[in-house]
Structure 1
Amino acid sequence: MAKSSYQNKKDRMDRLLGLLKAEDHSTSLALAKKLRVSHRTLMRDLEELKASGIPVEADRGRGGGLRLNAQWGLGRLQVNYKESLDLLLSLAIAEKFNSPVLLSSVKSLRDKVFQSFPEEHRKKLQLIRKRVRITTYADESVRATYDNVPAPVQNALHEAFFEMRCLKIAYRDEKKNITERLIEPHYLLLSFPLWYVMAWDHLRQDLRSFRVDRIQKASVHAQETFHMHHQDLFQKTLQKFSESL
């Protein structure tokens, strides 16, 4: 039920953002009617958009309404901070692997993208960027074992990582054993094409790494949030883990 609720809300928020992009002005009553939600639900969704760094503005008086700040984002490209982080990470990955084709300006492009967002938005990006590490290519023998990650797992991990919420997973280890875990996804590490989650494992009461493509099922534990703790241990483990790849 929790996954379904999240997906429905995500679809609604995407639709709301699309309506705000498509129209210069729209009243809250008109938006609520188009989305088939109550006015109260719409106002709550608008507040969440604002809290995520999306500048929804209200013009008073006849002819007024709700709209996005015309100066926000990258020209006509409208992105929220999660989407902008995906863009920045993609550029950082391209820079890390040093492709000789069409990437001569990737560092300056990454810097321009980052600086184009409001200061509050940039602070959020900075905090999350520090929790993502990019190493080198995985060994050929390891790449041969890579599996695609199902979309539901990707969505749940994405939400838990960004919102700092605990994640329930069914994890398959190297011996094909499957265990149920409750983890705190503190860091993501890329050894291309494999992603790893460096997490605090509530079952083991210790730091553990999990290959994302071995996560069979995942759901956000809505009641559980976490704080960044044991950072000295995480940093040392991340360094050793990166060197071992």
Structure 2
Amino acid sequence: MNREKAVVVFSGGQDSTTCLFWAMQRFGEVEAVTFNYGQRHQLELDCAARIAKEQQVRHHVLDMSLLNQLAPNALTRQEIAIEDKEGELPTTFVDGRNLLFLTFAAVLAKQIGAKHIVTGVCETDFSGYPDCRDVFIKSLNVTLNLSMDYPFVIDTPLMWLTKAQTWQMAGELGVLDYVRERTLTCYNGIVADGCGDCPSCRLRKKGWEEYVQAKNEGVAL
């Protein structure tokens, strides 16, 4: 195990929870940070807090309400429909979210003596969000190091995984049932398998079905 300290950017969803367990197995000390940016569901914050408590991980919640004011979107405005149209960014995209989240996570990390920042962004199974791309993460990593003269490492364990492979990772970490039953990914605020209809639920379900099929057939993902 790496004895260094890590901060996990944590929403209580499938990806960030898988990353939390990944970090807990790799680093000597792990803390989690969740951002309150006026998202649709208080339940997301509650879910993150519950998981952190259950896993005995120190949990920070930072106020990012200004992001709600600057970047109206379907995740912060009930009157904006959740839509994912071909050739357009989904209405759930929040301008600057990962830029700000990772920057504030880095500020926190430096204050508590953590070098590693773990995030669940993914370029393989994603909705076209520009701030989930590997090139953005690498660019920001350099910028953060220069801005604070500190050796940050942004870890992205899910970057090149499909959603099915993310389920597989949870299985390999021994937390498959926990991640499936205790996390909140649904845009409509329903824990576990969710509403089954929103884009996030459909992606989660598709990945689960592909993972189960591959496991039953004994084929590699």
What is the TM-score of this pair, normalised by structure 2?
Answer: 0.23
TM-score by length of 1: 0.21
Q: Which has the larger radius of gyration?
A: 1
